[in-house]
Structure 1
């Protein structure tokens, strides 16, 4: 059985786990430092407003991917101005789970990802973002990592 938790990436000047708990995230692992203050941490679960609450408290953009058995990744990203976007990773596998792909259109996700990266002060690679959002992989985590690199996150690999 694969990963059914999630991964959160944000820039935080405070204690990230404390901020995540206060926002409704549970089961956090150790945070991994990327560069320029960006951090990645895995979590077990999040509430329906956890992402918006975290971004409001930190004042920085954040992106989370929740995994369905490592087969599919559900992306939720938010910005301090209240805008957000969502997307889906591993669309071919999502079809096997009968997830309605029309609820996760690609073009709004690409546009949202590019706007998110710009708001975060990053330089995204539009074609690489599109590839991550439309590509297939054995594990959705691979596409999640590719998305972070495509968004221009410093230190992402």
Structure 2
């Protein structure tokens, strides 16, 4: 059985796990520093407004990817000024779960990802973002790693598996 939790990526000067708990995330572990203050933390579950609460508390953009059995990743991202976007990773696998792909159109997700990245002061790679949102991989976590790199997060690297599956 695969991962059914999620990961959060944000820039934080405080203790990220404490900020996440206060925002409604549960069972936080494996907080890893990327670069320039960006951090990634794994969590078991989050409330409906957890991401919005965290962004409000930290005043920095954040993105979560919630995994369904490591097969599918549901993306949600927010900026402090209230802009948000959603996306889906591993569309082919999502279709096998009968997840309605029309609820996750690619073009608005690409546009949202580019705007989010720019608002975060990053330099996104539009082609790579599109590839992660349309690509497939054995594990959705591979696509998630590729997405973070495509968004321009300093210190984020694509997994070797992501490159193998043609998304890098």
Bucket of the pairwise TM-score, normalised by the shorter protein: over 0.9
Task: Output the CA distance in 2 between the equivalents of 1:42 and 1:22.
Answer: 15
SS at 2:144 equivalent = helix
Q: CA deviation at 1:83?
A: 1.0
- Tell me which residue corresponds to 1:92: 92
SS at 2:108 equivalent = helix
- Tell me which residue corresponds to 1:27: 27
Q: How does 1:94-133 map to 2 (within 5 A)?
A: 94-133=94-133
When the two chains are superposed, the root-mean-square deviation of aligned CA atoms in Å is: 0.4
Q: Deviating runs (4+, > 2 A) in structure 1?
A: none
Task: Output the CA distance in 2 between the equivalents of 1:7 and 1:17.
Answer: 12
Task: Output the CA distance in 2 between the equivalents of 1:33 and 1:14.
Answer: 12
SS at 1:152 equivalent = coil
SS at 1:138 equivalent = coil
Unaligned runs of 5+ in 1: none
Task: Output the CA distance in 2 between the equivalents of 1:42 and 1:5.
Answer: 7
Task: Output the CA distance in 1 between the equivalents of 2:12 and 2:98.
Answer: 36
- Tell me which residue corresponds to 1:57: 57
Q: CA deviation at 1:30?
A: 2.7
Aligned residues: 157
Task: Output the CA distance in 2 between the equivalents of 1:123 and 1:43.
Answer: 27
Task: Output the CA distance in 2 between the equivalents of 1:106 and 1:88.
Answer: 8
Report the TM-score when normalising by structure 1. 0.99
Unaligned runs of 5+ in 2: 158-168
> Is 1:83 aligned to 2:79, yes or no?
no
Task: Output the CA distance in 1 between the equivalents of 2:67 and 2:17.
Answer: 19
